[in-house]
Amino acid sequence: MEHLIESFRQFIKQKGLKYTPEREEILREILAIEDHFDVETLYLLLKGKNSKISKASIYRTIPLLIEVGYIQEVYKQGGHSHYEVTLYKQPHLHFICMKCGQVREALDHRLNDLIKEFEAKSGYKFLTYHLEIFGLCPYCREVK
């Protein structure tokens, strides 16, 4: 964990920015989540620990954490963005129920294989991907 903090510090310095306690606090909280989150949740978690971090700082820090590769925006729901910590995860896909909002993750090596093949053919260097599938979950498809 500490090496992730250190890497982030180096990244910030390398960009000519200033390393602040607020940025570190936000990063530590996100690393502790190890899962999906949105700005509101993160803000309330920090607030619950008597942190004085503002939402503005969270909004300002997120793009940095995406750039350094620690988190990704994975989908929009309820009118706002949801992120996930990508550090300990394989690339995967999301099923999102358009009615109840339930999100399910899945992994499939054939998808990863296919994507590797696209990479070889395309000449791109792939860094990450998102596969989001929208529809109705088994429960909601029954209910009218």
Partner DNA sequence: ATTATATTGAAACTTATTCTCAATATTAAA
Partner DNA sequence: TTTAATATTGAGAATAAGTTTCAATATAAT
Q: Is 124 an interacting residue with respect to its own copies (CB under 8 A)?
A: yes
Q: Which of DNA, its own copies, none binds 7 (CB below 5-8 Å, type-dependent)?
A: none
Q: Which of its own copies, DNA, none binds 112 (CB below 5-8 Å, type-dependent)?
A: none
Closest CB to DNA among 54 and 120? 54
Query: Which is it for strands 103-106 and 93-97: parallel, antiparallel or unpaired?
Result: antiparallel
Closest CB to its own copies among 52 and 121? 121
Binding mask 91-120 for its own copies (x = CB under 8 A): --x-x-xx-----x-x-x-xx--xx--xx-
- The count of C-alpha atoms lying within 13 angstroms of the C-alpha of 14, restricted to the half-sphere facing its C-beta, is 9
DSSP-assigned states of every residue in 4-57:
HHHHHHHHHHHTT----HHHHHHHHHHHHH-SEEEHHHHHHHHHHTT----HHH
Tokens 């109705």 locate to 136
What residue ranges bind DNA (CB under 7 A)? 12-13, 16-23, 38-40, 52-57, 59-61, 76, 78-81
The DSSP bridge partners found for residue 71 are 85
Contact by Cβ (8 Å): 26, 46: yes
Q: Which of DNA, its own copies, none binds 118 (CB below 5-8 Å, type-dependent)?
A: its own copies
Which residue type does 112 have? N
Q: Is 90 an interacting residue with respect to its own copies (CB under 8 A)?
A: no
Which residues sit at the interface with its own copies, rule CB under 8 A? 76, 93, 95, 97-98, 104, 106, 108, 110-111, 114-115, 118-119, 122-138, 141
